Amino acid sequence: MDKSKVLELLSKFISIQSVSADSKRRKEITKAVDFLKNQFKEMGVDVKIIQKGQSPPLILGIYHSDHGRDLNGNRKTIGIYGHYDIQPEDPVDEWESPPFELTIKDGKLYGRGVADNKGHVIQNLTSIKHLIKVNKLKNNIVFIFEGEEEVGSDNFENYVKEAKDILSRVDVFYVTDTGMYKKNIPQIFYGLRGLVYFELEVDIGNKDLHSGIYGNRVLNPVQILAHLLAKMKDEKTNRVLIPGFYNEVRSITQDERNNFKSFARSDEEEKKTAGVYKMISLDKDQAYLSSKFYPSLDVNGIVSGHTREGAKTIIPRKATL
């Protein structure tokens, strides 16, 4: 298969700003859907779109390897999951290349979504396209691409229910939204931890106050959040202190420990890749497992009060975490 054509396709997909978190870019979501629809048509794959209101739709691409039969035939049906939405590109000024332009540097591809998950989607589309072309596809394929993965997949469950007649015929699902930890060591993921994301706002009143006049008289919302966060995580062990947080975490088997040993990176390597000063761990034997098995708790953003140049003596009226 022609590598340049694959890159051209990825480049086009990357140029679409399908940031699901940004309601102002709903048109870009539509562009991404149209892009995928066209791909399916070119491949001779049937398309089904399920959408609720203005939410990013679910796109199904259904290919019957044995034309004339339906998915109930003798052949196995493989489901391929992916998502066409991407994370916001901010902070923009820290990108070394334009986020929505596919850039190749030292043999690596850069662009918002290359690693999560547009790159994988293109891999899937082009490899299936190739198998169809050379007449070597032995299975039925059901592509299932959503556009809300980066914002919590609010409608996913309902979409899946609506597509039950198609999806129930899938024998095995292949989730492409993962990565390879070490080059040339293929990995099979057999579990994902899931995610709970929430925003917390602490309000002390209805206006910012002068800290010289109201200091010691009103609570500071950032201070309230600080006390709250300090109670949520142990400063020394880094363990989450919220009661019950680890209750349903099963222990890691010896087999799993052995398997993971084979490709775990050293803390030195991790430090370099992450670009941080220090690595921490929750697992006393295999640091690497800390982020693979144990649930984690993190602040993804916080903002309160005066954050621009210079000084401003205020007690902010609210803090958002």
Comparison of 49 and 276: residue with beta carbon closer to a second copy: 276
Distance CA 291, CA 267 (A): 13
Maximum Cα–Cα distance for the chain, whole Å? 80
Give the type of residue at 129: K
Our CB check for a second copy shows the closer of 98 and 152 to be: 152
User: Of 40, 56, 74, whose CA–CA distance to 143 is shortest?
Assistant: 40
- CB-based contact 310:319 (threshold 8 Å): no
Candidate list 67, 108, 207, 284; residue touching a second copy; CB under 8 A: 207
Should residue 105 be labelled a site residue for a second copy when binding is judged by CB under 8 A? no
Contact with a second copy (CB under 8 A) among 12, 88, 169, 175: 88
Distance separating alpha carbons of residues 7 and 102, to the nearest angstrom:
8
Q: Among residues 144 and 204, whose Cβ is nearest to a second copy?
A: 204
- Near a second copy in 125-154, by CB under 8 A: 150-152
* Binders of a second copy in range 270-309 (CB under 8 A): 270, 274-282, 287, 290-291, 294, 296-309
Q: Which of residues 26-85 bind a second copy (CB under 8 A)?
A: none
Query: Judged by CB under 8 A, which stretch of 28-36, 75-83, 166-174, 197-205 contacts a second copy?
Result: 197-205
Q: Is 256 in the site for a second copy (CB under 8 A)?
A: no
Interface with a second copy by CB under 8 A: which range of 36-44, 46-54, 65-73, 208-216? 208-216
Give the CA dihedral 300, 19, 122, 101, nearest 10 degrees: -100
Number of residues written out for the chain:
321
Q: Near a second copy by CB under 8 A, which window of 18-26, 35-43, 55-63, 134-142?
A: 18-26
**Tokens encoding 23:** 């309601």
- Distance, CA of 37 to CA of 110 (rounded, Å): 24
